[in-house]
Amino acid sequence: MTGTFPALLELWETDGLSQKQLVERLDIEQATMANTLTRMERDGLVTRKRDENDGRVQRVWLTSRGRALKGAATAAAIDENAASLAGLSVAERDQFVALVQKVIHTRGAKAGPKG
């Protein structure tokens, strides 16, 4: 279920993304995204449909079940983050977040475009 939550986050923000857009936004391999979407479709969270304008493109759409998970899943993630950071002071949390953002930015800058 690890790959499911990031994919859901992207689809909650912008439903109907292509598989390629999800791969780029999540910075994961195409095969990993395909497997994640297969599981999500099996679990009734998404459906894949051919793009009306370009039959080569498959768009990923949330089902009503997938949309309904947003509140509970987001709340659970917020609770988990709070529990994980509970032992840190406010200054330490701020420093931690800044460092993680720096690592993400550095990794993204070095990764470059995927082909």
| Domain 4-68 class, CATH top level | mainly alpha
Per DSSP, the residues of 33-70 read HHHHHHHHHHTTSEEEEE-SS-TTPEEEEE-HHHHHTH
Dihedral angle, C-alpha 52, 9, 113, 17, nearest 10 °:
0
Kindly indicate the confidence band of residue 114, based on its pLDDT and cuts at 50, 70 and 90: very low
Express each pLDDT in 7-63 by its tens digit: 999 999 999 999 999 999 998 899 999 999 999 999 999 999 998 888 888 999 999
